A and B are shown apart, each in its own frame.
Chain A
């Protein structure tokens, strides 16, 4: 479960002054649901997700993730989420299994649990062939699988994906979207951000359109199409984003 309440983040930039990256954003996402955060580059998607993942702390408002408060219990929040983005790279000099084991240890798992989880995940993702190869030597697709395995080792209830398909080829991107669906089927709470309309249309149960740090519209795909009298999400997006200009 994710619940954002009037979540806000202001950055102080020496040159540009105060930047309101996220402004009073409220939404919720239930277990077994995929919530899509749609926005242009710089709209505030990444900052919102970083606030939920407690990598950044909010300057106003708050949120609970998996039942824990992001401000008061950030470590507990991180213990119950899996965070994946194209910005979260892997350690080149560790092997696939060492990487997953490291994150298992950081999550406080014992060796037996780590080994059990690793063999389950490696089998599910078909990773056994390259489990002992260093990450530097892996293809993009293989790296993506290692990243997924890393986020899953502690079996988190909440999954946060920040533009997870950015820069990936069709096959690798497809593997990610399949994985996101699987997470929903396992009754996890899933939030993901993107600027790709088709991904949102295919995947999301509910959609939030974010622009200039504010959540401008929210609803299921059908609700949004009806509300903005549009044939597709792109039209909705242009209308919603245009309002703010």
Chain B
């Protein structure tokens, strides 16, 4: 191998790629413009929806309670709840989003609550519907408060202290630092995102530099030059790895900034856990994923070279997306953990080790093993790509 020749090829491919509008689109514009836009839209929509749900009163129907004017009175006066007259198809109306919940008040509610027969109020709601669930919570809170006020009144009437009602309180506190909370919540998804981005970033250039060249007739031109096929594939391979890594880094930075910004702007004051991601852990994950990017680049080059045209290459490469996504998703799932067996499975192992690193857990033995294993897979990938470029039947498939 002659590195100088490989670098000549690399420099030419880089210049060529930077002039290609499609590369610029997939490598730079999509990560830098599309991701922030996506976060902006999602953040804005979520903020708007939850704001609306908070502001507007929940329309509810009440069934029964004709003999319990007190509770009905209190309910009508409750904040955020608007009682409309009962209709027989109330449950259907909930499903149709016409009303939010139906409150079923048992017979003799008012008289029995002050006595000793516990009564049961039923709230019918639409599970999964945000506005209905919000109405359910309001009604639930109303009855909790109502129950407490009745209990307080009863205690006061008997001259008993109110502390009887609440002999103690329970308070759950988070003791993990924000970086660990962030690691636990997002830890699995960051490597997943990087893996997918590395792959998609490598896809287009890998197809363009192999099948695309065959289709345009420039492959034969370059094969008549003295550059060896190994140098040629190494030059192309360096370009694909660069595209893959640049896409991943640009996307990550852009996502990080837009995530932080949309959290601050739209979810300000909302009940969001205090979390942060340690940038050095993300950098460590990028490093761990470098051999994965190498593996992707080499496998994509080898596979795309089989095709005669860019279009044909797409049909070969598209199914590979699933091959990559599956282990990445499994790795992102909670409960799947790194051990000496999972350390052998490519992509999954890096995904798992990255999850640990982002959560702040450094198992150095496993990290080294995973990195070494992935380097071995990457080397096999490069070998396969070089072999493919030396096969006449692949280069000149008619």
Contact = CB atoms under 8 A, between A and B. Distances in A.
A98 B227 contact: no
Contacts of B220: 55, 85, 87-88
Interface of B: 5, 8-9, 12, 15-16, 19-20, 216-218, 220-228, 392-393, 396
Given A89-B217, A90-B218, A105 B223 contact: no
B392 A56 contact: yes
B165 to A, nearest CB: 78
A53 B224 contact: yes
A183 interface: no
A60 B1 CA distance: 27
A91 B218 contact: yes
Contacts of A92: 216
B392 A98 contact: no
* Among A75, A91, A94, residue most surrounded by chain B Cβ atoms (within 10 Å): A91
Nearest to B396: A56
A100 B393 CA distance: 29
A55 B391 CA distance: 11
Contacts of A81: 224
Interface in A68-89: 75-76, 78-79, 81, 83, 85, 87-89
Interface string A107-134: 1100000000000000000000000001
Given A93-B16, A94-B12, A106-B222, 4 more contacts: A79-B226, A92-B216, A94-B15, A134-B19
Given A92-B216, A93-B20, A94-B12, A106 B225 contact: yes
12 contacts: A55-B224, A56-B396, A78-B225, A88-B218, A88-B221, A91-B12, A91-B218, A102-B12, A103-B225, A106-B222, A107-B225, A134-B19
A93 B19 contact: yes
A57 B224 contact: no
A106 B5 contact: yes
Contacts of A75: 226, 228
Q: Which 4 A-B pairs have the closest CB atoms?
A: A89-B217, A83-B224, A88-B221, A79-B226
Interface residues of A, number: 30
Nearest to A98: B15
Given A88-B217, A90-B221, A105 B16 contact: no
A89 B16 contact: no
A107 B226 contact: yes
Contact of A88 (B9, B20, B224): B224
Nearest to B13: A91
A169 B362 CA distance: 69
Contacts of B224: 53, 55, 78, 81, 83, 88
Contacts of B8: 102, 105-106
A12 B396 CA distance: 12
Contacts of A93: 15-16, 19-20
Contacts of A11: 393
Contacts of A105: 8
A142 B129 CA distance: 66
Contacts of B217: 87-89
A7 to B, nearest CB: 15
Contacts of A57: 392
B219 to A, nearest CB: 9
B218 A106 contact: no
B85 to A, nearest CB: 72
B225 A91 contact: no
Nearest to A9: B392
A84 B19 CA distance: 26
Interface in A38-58: 53, 55-57
A47 to B, nearest CB: 10
A89 B223 contact: no
Contact of B226 (A78, A87, A150): A78
Contacts of A150: 221
A53 B220 CA distance: 11
A107 B8 CA distance: 11
A89 B225 contact: no
A91 B8 CA distance: 15
A44 to B, nearest CB: 14
Nearest to B9: A106
Nearest to A14: B393
B20 A89 contact: no
B56 to A, nearest CB: 56
B19 A89 contact: no
B7 to A, nearest CB: 10
Contacts of A79: 226
Interface string A153-165: 0000000000000
B334 to A, nearest CB: 46
B271 to A, nearest CB: 52
